[in-house]
Amino acid sequence: MIFVTAGLVSEILLLFFIQFLLIKRNVLRNSILRVFIAAFFSVLSNIIIAISRISLITNFAFALYFSSIDFITYFLLIFTFIYTNRDKYLKKITKIWRIVIILDTLNLHASIFTGHMFTMYSMKLADGSVAYQTTPTLLFNVHLVLCYIPIVTALALLSYSFFKSHGFYRLKYFPIFASVLAIVLLNVAYMYFSLPFDWSVEFYALAGLLLFFFSLYFVPRMLMNNTLKLAVDSMNEAILLFDAERNIIYINKRAHDLFNLSEESFSFGDYPISVWLKGKDFDNLDNFVQNYPMTVAGEDMVIKVDYRNCVNAKGQHLGSFFLFEDVTLDQNLMQSLEAARSEANQANSAKSIFLANMSHEIRTPINSILGMNEMIIREATDEHVLEYARDIERSGDALMSLINNILDFSKIESGKMEINPAPYSVFKTIRECFHLVAPRAQQKDLPIRISCADDIPCELLGDTQRIKQILVNLLTNAIKYTAQGYISLDVSWKKTTDYVGTLVFVVSDTGQGISEENISKLFNIFQRIDEGKNRNIEGTGLGLAISRQLAVMMNGNISVKSDSGKGSEFTVELKQPVINNAPLGKFLLQEEAAPAKKTYKESFHAPGAKILVVDDIELNLKLVSSLLKKTRVQISKASDGNTAIKMCSEEEYDLILMDHMMPDPDGYETMVKIRAAGGHNAVIPIVVLTANALEGVEKQYMEMGFDGYLSKPILGSDLEEALIRFLPQEKITIL
């Protein structure tokens, strides 16, 4: 009785232990291994039945045997559900079948005492030995049905999966189906021939071995091999695989199509690719990738050859393979791209030349206009004339702003715009911006309200010129599009650390505002919103686009909020390093207020200094003479390069101002000839005068050999600063 109870408890505990392990997810392998465990108990039971002569032990062994078969078929069912990817039904099936197995196990063990399941009888065999047989009862037949339900279910699932799957994947199900079917057929044969021993468990063990082999080794490897073959055959590259003795062992479909090769017909004498291969010393061939021109099927191609040696972890040579790829189209495409790149570079160069010429051609007359207008402002005493001159000055400044915007956009587009950070004061920058836009606001009776936070560091590191360019652009736009009300500029500081923070400028107005659909167009180049309504407002549509690009280049951004008819608000955020963390305190606009009117006063006198001005435009020569008239400098003029060379051979000068864009010879060639002539004038400073104001031009002129650079239109103050810098100091008297 103790043996019976222990056997029953151990089987029930084994069942629940198996259920627990099923929650872990290596069930496929475990379910097969448990077939072996259950088969082991069955074999043990058969051995006990064969050797035992004690009725109770024999009956217990029979109960254990049939219970083991319950477990085997249960594991088989689990395995089939997992293998056919029906895991979602597994939990329901295991719950149901657990109850069935428990009931059948209890019934089998109860039969030891009731005899209702089967009865034992002995049969003497031909050799004189005694074998035990069972006489099945109704409940025993129910037990058999319960054993075959999982087997039939497994066969049904495998059959369904076999016919529903793609032909390529039927290999996955057929060996498993055949193994399960073998159990049924072998059991049928066993019962048909009425063998004296129950061989069912051996058949289950054999099926378990087959399932283990097929599901974990044979099927995955066959599927992998077939999948790899499909993948390799679908490659664009032709592949030839050789063993260590240079025997061909694989040629893919692309190699067959490209070179008309096959594993059966391949030899190193075949044409065309094998001729190329024949000349290769495989034993001394290192890995390489190289393009080769080849003639394949009468067509000229460029073939990329990729060769690799195959070695194992120990470095032993196992073979090699070649990858051949037709890169003719790629080669042609690269040539086309190179040609397109060359054309783009030529177009970009042409654009740069055009911009340089445009800058020169436009700036040259503006130079004369603004220069002569400056002379009028210096010398005129009639207020009406001065008013006209100031109008000319404002219009000239607007025209120069337009030209500078176009040039700035070109610099940004070509990546030649540079940010030059330097220490600066935020308050000083704001005051300078205010004085630049204040006259325009005064004309429209628009007050500009400025509010600055007290905690802004007194000295930051940034490109103050570009910051002013952004602010002036935003303030000018606010003034242009505001008829009445006011303009405000609010400045604040967002501290990140003691060494860096974000400077925030908010420019708002009470103007016409921007509709929601037009906000997205604000920063587009050459695009102005509400063109019809704003046709009387000047502008190119470049200012905001340039401002945003400049902000991005300075690790910042510009955002906008606006309501149509209620005004707009532009926010500029710039990340700035801190030079001096002491707070600026209260902002005072009057601290550096601009005088209402500037009276010209020369900055130096140099009556003993001699300069030579070279320019092919007579008006420019006259302008330089006029701007320097009060400095008392002795000025000589040359209208072309040859005249300048001749004058330098006859007279000694202290400085030469040389226009660049002159007829043959130009300014550079003239400078070279003057230097080459030797003498005093070969070593004096030569400052180039040019209307070319593109980014990097000054550096180029310095590299060409010029000592200084002045861009047109030339301001009198800039011209005087250049002379103070380059003239001999003993000849200058600073005023």
For 227-244, give the DSSP string: HHHHHHHT-SSEEEEEET
> Is residue 536's pLDDT more than 50?
no
pLDDT given for residue 428 in this prediction: 86
- The yes/no answer on whether domain 2-229 falls in CATH 1.20.1070 is yes
610-614 and 634-638 beta bridge pairing: parallel
Task: Give domain limits for the chain.
Answer: 2-229, 235-326, 420-592, 604-734
**181-195, 550-564, 660-674, 717-731: the lowest-pLDDT one:** 181-195
- Round to whole Å and give the CA distance between 110 and 117: 9
pLDDT given for residue 270 in this prediction: 52
- Round to whole Å and give the CA distance between 731 and 632: 11
- Round to whole Å and give the CA distance between 260 and 117: 72
Q: What is the pTM of this model?
A: 0.42
Pairwise pLDDT comparison (442 vs 531), residue with the higher score: 442
For 291-325, write each residue's pLDDT tens digit. Answer: 777 767 667 778 788 888 888 888 777 788 888 88
Band the pLDDT of 593: cuts 50, 70, 90. very low
Q: What percent of the chain has pLDDT over 90?
A: 10
For 31-71, write each residue's pLDDT tens digit. Answer: 666 666 666 666 677 677 667 667 677 777 777 777 777 77
Burial class (CB in 10 A: 0-12, 13-18, 19+), 679: exposed
Check: CB of residue 336 under 8 Å from CB of residue 315: no
Domains 235-326 and 420-592 share a fold: no
pLDDT given for residue 269 in this prediction: 53
Is residue 424 classed as helix, strand or coil in its secondary structure?
strand
- Round to whole Å and give the CA distance between 32 and 266: 45
pLDDT given for residue 184 in this prediction: 78
pLDDT given for residue 55 in this prediction: 67
**What are the φ and ψ backbone dihedral angles of 411, each rounded to 5 degrees?**
-65, -45
pLDDT given for residue 653 in this prediction: 93
* CATH among 3.40.50.970, 3.40.50.2300, 3.40.50.300, 3.40.50.920 for 604-734: 3.40.50.2300
448-452 and 487-495 beta bridge pairing: parallel
Buried b (16+ CB within 10 A) or exposed e, 188-204: eebeeeeeeebbbbbbb
317-326 and 487-495 beta bridge pairing: unpaired
Burial class (CB in 10 A: 0-12, 13-18, 19+), 434: buried
pLDDT given for residue 577 in this prediction: 92
Which CATH number is associated with domain 235-326? 3.30.450.20
Band the pLDDT of 735: cuts 50, 70, 90. confident
Pairwise pLDDT comparison (329 vs 659), residue with the higher score: 659
- The yes/no answer on whether domain 420-592 falls in CATH 3.40.50.2300 is no
Buried b (16+ CB within 10 A) or exposed e, 363-381: bbebbbbbbbbbbbbbeee
> Is residue 89's pLDDT more than 80?
no
Check: CB of residue 249 under 8 Å from CB of residue 241: yes
- Round to whole Å and give the CA distance between 179 and 208: 8
Mean pLDDT of 516-537: 57
- Supply 626's token pair: 């006029």
Check: CB of residue 707 under 8 Å from CB of residue 611: no
